[in-house]
Amino acid sequence: MNDWGYVALAWGVTAVVLVAYALWVILRGRAMSRRLPPEDRRWM
Amino acid sequence: MTSVPTATAPSAPDAAPPAVGPIGTGSRGTRILGLVALVGIAVATYLALVSSPPDENMGDSVRIIYIHVPIVVVAYVGCLITTLGSVMVLWKKSVWWDVTAAASAEIAMVTTALTLVIGMAWARPTWGVWWVWDARLTSTAMLLLLLLGYLAVRRIPAETSTRSRRAAIVGVLLLPNVIVVNRSVTWWRSLHQDTTILNTLQPKIHDQMAFALYFAIPVALVIFAWLLVHRWRLAWMEQQLEDRELDQAISDRRAEAAGERAEDGQR
Amino acid sequence: MFRDALLVAGKDLRIELRSRIGVNQILPFAFLVLLLFAFALDPDSGVLDRATPGLFWLAVLFSALLAIQRAFAIEAADGNRDGLRLSGLDPAGIYLGKMTAIFTQLAVLELVLGIGVLVLYSSHVTGWALMVATCVAATAGIAAAGTLYGVVAAGLRVRETLLPLLLLPVLSPVLIGSVRAFEAARNGNPGEGWPWVGLLAVFAVAYTIFGAFGFGPLLEES
């Protein structure tokens, strides 16, 4: 595997991990706020 | 004639309330942040992968550094915020900082793990091995473990105040521990004259490469901010839910006890 | 504060003398670790001999985990924690007392283990002063950090798995320093070892101070 292969590996893993984590946070956020009454959903 | 009092049905916390408040953790602020992040990512990617030249020594694998450094910066910033937040929890008993410390720690953990993987992807073409026991890599691995420890304390089944305090003690020591471990490992490895490895870690940076690198760092920090806001709101809601369920359980018990007393009174 | 510390240390050590868990279980465990290392590293290949300082301190570290778990397990029974809190003893004193008790037990362990290592691994010993100083400083550090993280994990169902995860990364500088110092002592150039003792001492002092202050908030909860 030449240099670009490893570049692709590094960038690819980064993209996948960050996107997956972001999605996980957002989807859990939506599920959580459905279980709470409106007044408890935000700090302010 | 005895009458059996009807027990009031407790409202199930899982029943979906009418959806009037915001659903999810998004807001105008996060949408703006997200947009800025996406634009930044696009530009940074172009700079890193297309417009900047390959390094004379490392070749194209230098492009990995353009994400490696920003990600590790995010990890350190996250770590710093967690320590800071833990100090505030112990000092001012601040709930806001408690949530911040927790959210920041998780992001720091993800990015630290990511740093190690990215680092390994860079090490392989550069040195021919996936891993070396040099100071930086070893300390980063330790940082990951320290963060996992902190996150484990955050998940203990205990009252919120207990959990916050214990986590805060661990959190306050997070940054000092990282520094002590880093210093010890560096001192230790320096005895083995790892200078050749250290040299390849400081490549000579030309203008375009420097620009690609230094542009990527703020972009990564914007991504971090976006993630932090969302994760913060999520953590806040998790806490709210836990408190509500606790209150619910307590009032259920009270209703039970009151029902029993009423029964006894009737007889 | 020191009076309270002596009170708590005395209590813990008396419990140990009566139950003899340290002698009957933790010490054998330490020897078991030494034996397992010999099985894993093949005494004939010379690796065992070179690795002796490291193996000694690893055995100490793993045994310390058991000793610390034990120190807080004795408090978990019969509402001892509430008893401690309501007793009016100075939290810093309680911390120092527990730390002293753990230090004492570990010191005894290291003494016996050291003899065992000399015998089992046919080690030669030079640089006594350096080694003793290393033991004192490293053990103080282990006891100080161990008592603090021990109380963070105390009383929880997950404490057996949480304590190692929390404590071992924190103690890695102690491991590095103590092994390097022992190696310097063995190689006959103690000058290289004393700086590491300095690191160990700073670590121990820092954690003792932080532990004394941090113990209060940790104790004051249900």
SS3 of chain B: the string is: CCCCCCCCCCCCCCCCCCCCCCCCCCCHHHHHHHHHHHHHHHHHHHHHHHHCCCECCCECCHHHHHHHHHHHHHHHHHHHHHHHHHHHHHHHCCHHHHHHHHHHHHHHHHHHHHHHHHHHHHHHHHHCCCCCCCHHHHHHHHHHHHHHHHHHHHCCCCCHHHHHHHHHHHHHCHHHHHHHHHHHHHHHHHCCCCHHHHHHHCCCCCHHHHHHHHHHHHHHHHHHHHHHHHHHHHHHHHHHHHHHHHHHHHHHHHHHHHHHHHHHHHC
CB < 8 Å to B234, chain A: 25, 28-29, 32
Touching check for B50 and chain A: CB below 8 Å? no
Nearest by CB: B145 against C158, C169, C173: C169
pTM for the model: 0.87
One-letter amino acid of C68 = I
Angle at which helices B160-172 and C128-153 pack, to 10 degrees? 150
Q: Give chains near A: 3+ CB pairs under 8 A.
A: B
One pLDDT digit (tens) per residue for chain B, 267 residues:
444 444 444 444 444 544 456 788 888 888 999 999 999 999 998 888 888 788 777 777 888 888 999 999 999 999 999 999 999 999 999 999 999 999 999 999 999 999 999 989 888 888 888 888 878 888 899 999 999 999 999 998 888 888 999 999 999 999 999 999 989 988 888 876 554 444 555 556 677 888 888 899 999 999 999 999 999 999 999 988 888 888 888 888 888 888 888 888 776
Touching check for B142 and chain C: CB below 8 Å? yes
Chains B and A touch (3+ CB pairs under 8 A): yes
Write phi, then psi, for B160 (nearest 5 degrees): -55, -45
CB < 8 Å to B115, chain A: none
> What per-residue confidence (pLDDT) applies to C206?
95
Evaluate whether C61 touches C168 at the Cβ level (below 8 Å).
yes
- Please tell me whether residue C42 adopts helix, strand or coil conformation: coil
Which of B94, B143, B150, B153 has the highest number of chain C CBs within 10 A, making it the mutation to test binding with C?
Answer: B153
Q: Which domains does chain B have, with CATH numbers?
A: 30-255 (1.20.120)
> pLDDT for C72-105, tens place per residue?
888 776 667 667 776 777 888 889 988 999 999 9
Touching check for B248 and chain A: CB below 8 Å? no
Parse chain C into domains and list their residue ranges. 2-219
